[in-house]
Amino acid sequence: MRNFIHILFAALLITGLGFLAFITVPVQRTEPQTALADDWRPEEGQGEYAMRLADCAACHTAPDGELFAGNRPIESPLGTIYSSNITPDEATGIGGWSLDDFRAALYDGVRPDGTHLYPAMPYENYRKLTEEDIRALYHYFMEELEPVENRTLQSDLSFPFDQRWGLRAWKWVALGDPGFVADTDDPVLARGEYLVEGPGHCGACHTPRNNLMAEAALETPDEAFLSGGEIDGWTAPPLRGPDSAIRGWSAQDMAAILATGRNAHAAINGEMQLVVRDSTQFMNDEDLQALAAYLVNLNDGSTAPDRAEETETEALLVSADPDMPLGPRLYLDNCNACHFADGRGADEVFPELDGSSLVTAQSPTGLISMILTGSELPSTAERPSSLRMPGFGDRLSDEEVAELASFVRSAWNNGAQPVTPAQVAELRGDAEAKRD
């Protein structure tokens, strides 16, 4: 969510070209992609469900704030952007917006007055929403929600990033065609594809950014789509291709992690926790199965990575040899209790560290953050217990965390680069700054 600041850099690049014309010529709004009767009404609950699929709550609700009243700060080195109040309040929200106004925000990233929205709002992906979903969302936000008066704080970006008109040029390059076209005849796979490309905006995090910091691909046939991205230093792992984090997972594994945040291999962390907490856990069975089928199909033909069952690491840990190096010793003293000597944890309780995409990610940010501050799995309807991994920041020095992380990254069948104490010190500093 925070990465988009780079997008602004890109926008600046283009504005540098100095086309003043597009500041003044009005923006064309995208038309509805299907014609629905004027008196079309969503079924009971359809609007709320569409809101869940699109995860509007994650961004538009401030921590401890009222639902959809906005002002969730999105920090960046250049300033803070605040999400908007999208309750139907006339003065401070989107009360009084027409359906066309609402559609234009989701498809084209513009406000009724033509102001461009920052792409922190994922309209690159929402452009694929069906007219039914747009109408259902509109009904939900306009008629099912109570207005909340809460003025959206002024985003305080420094010049020239505060010049929103620059985004117009960026959109010419970044936005794909509106509307959704399935890449398959299979209705189940097509539904999964829609959920991923459109409302689920999975690509906003799991697709790499190109040099304009736009999503490098927006659709399934392009192999760059879902081939791995980065968000706030955390790696959103590839969901396809040779390095896919979910290679060899069954449809059941896929459905389990989306519905409960945990499965036999992994547990979700960082931003992905918000996705499960606010969105995917609410999917109905049919959609969950469609999404799972899509992800399995995306990894079709690939098998789980080869993993030696017996490893030197396990033998060393089991030996409990007092002369072992510091890394494995720290693992035994701090981590072994839950993740075990074989690094395989326990199904749906303690995730595997052997082969974990978070452990072996190129950037060690996620792993170091996990060790310093721990994490808590969100409680879901199906798995209410919010399992907690404690933080070890108070037990371990920067040098120790680096030794431990380096060990875990190369233990069992893992083979990732070591971590330095300086990398740990930096993240510890960040975490303290965020807390103060």
Question: Which residues, listed in sequence order, are joined to residue 81 by a DSSP beta bridge?
Answer: 74
Give the one residue of 66, 332, 418, 421 binding another protein; rule: CB under 8 A: 332
Cα separation of 279 and 47, whole Å? 14
Can residue 333 be called a binding residue for another protein (CB under 8 A)? yes
Can residue 255 be called a binding residue for ligand HEC (CB under 6 A)? no
Stretch that binds ligand HEC, among 17-25, 211-219, 384-392, 428-436 (CB under 6 A): 384-392
Peptide bond into 187 cis (omega under 30): no
- Contact positions with another protein (CB under 8 A) in 303-322: 318, 320-322
Cα separation of 286 and 195, whole Å? 12
Cα separation of 86 and 56, whole Å? 9
Cβ atoms < 10 Å from Cβ of 351: 26
Best CA proximity match to 343, nearest among 323, 318, 314:
314
Can residue 393 be called a binding residue for another protein (CB under 8 A)? yes
Given a contact cutoff of 8 angstroms between Cβ atoms, the answer to whether 276 and 200 are in contact is no
For residues 337 and 433, which CB has a smaller minimum distance to ligand HEC in the complex? 337
Peptide bond into 160 cis (omega under 30): yes
- Determine the length of the chain: 436
Residue with tokens 């989701």: 106
Can residue 376 be called a binding residue for ligand HEC (CB under 6 A)? yes
Total of residues contacting ligand HEC (CB under 6 A): 70
For residues 14 and 425, which CB has a smaller minimum distance to another protein in the complex? 425
Question: How many CA atoms within 13 Å lie on the side-chain side of 292?
Answer: 21
Can residue 336 be called a binding residue for another protein (CB under 8 A)? yes
Q: What are phi and psi of 336, to 5 degrees?
A: -55, -30
Can residue 100 be called a binding residue for another protein (CB under 8 A)? no
Can residue 245 be called a binding residue for ligand HEC (CB under 6 A)? yes
Can residue 300 be called a binding residue for another protein (CB under 8 A)? no
DSSP codes, 175-211? ---SS---S-S-HHHHHHHHHHHTTT-THHHHS-B-T
Total of residues contacting another protein (CB under 8 A): 28
Site track 416-435 with another protein (rule: CB under 8 A), x = hit: ------------x--xx--x
- Contact positions with ligand HEC (CB under 6 A) in 341-370: 350-351, 353, 356-359, 367, 370
Stretch that binds another protein, among 29-37, 172-180, 304-312, 335-343 (CB under 8 A): 335-343
Can residue 271 be called a binding residue for ligand HEC (CB under 6 A)? yes
Question: How many CA atoms within 13 Å lie on the side-chain side of 345?
Answer: 19
CA dihedral (243, 174, 108, 188) positive or negative: negative
Stretch that binds ligand HEC, among 22-30, 214-222, 316-324, 329-337 (CB under 6 A): 329-337
Q: Is 205 a known ligand-binding residue?
A: yes
Given a contact cutoff of 8 angstroms between Cβ atoms, the answer to whether 174 and 274 are in contact is no
Given a contact cutoff of 8 angstroms between Cβ atoms, the answer to whether 413 and 311 are in contact is yes
Given a contact cutoff of 8 angstroms between Cβ atoms, the answer to whether 273 and 1 are in contact is no
For residues 304 and 320, which CB has a smaller minimum distance to another protein in the complex? 320
Q: Residue 393: which of ligand HEC, another protein, none does it interact with, CB under 5 to 8 A by kind?
A: another protein
- Annotated binding residues, written as ranges, equal 56, 59-60, 202, 205-206, 335, 338-339
- Annotated binding residues for heme c, written as ranges, equal 56, 59-60, 202, 205-206, 335, 338-339
Task: Summarize as ranges the residues that interact with ligand HEC (CB under 6 A).
Answer: 1, 54-56, 58-60, 74, 81, 83-84, 86, 94, 105, 111, 117-118, 120-122, 137, 155, 196, 200-202, 204-206, 231, 234, 236-237, 239, 245-246, 257, 266-272, 275, 280, 334-335, 337-339, 350-351, 353, 356-359, 367, 370-371, 375-377, 387, 389-390, 392, 404, 408
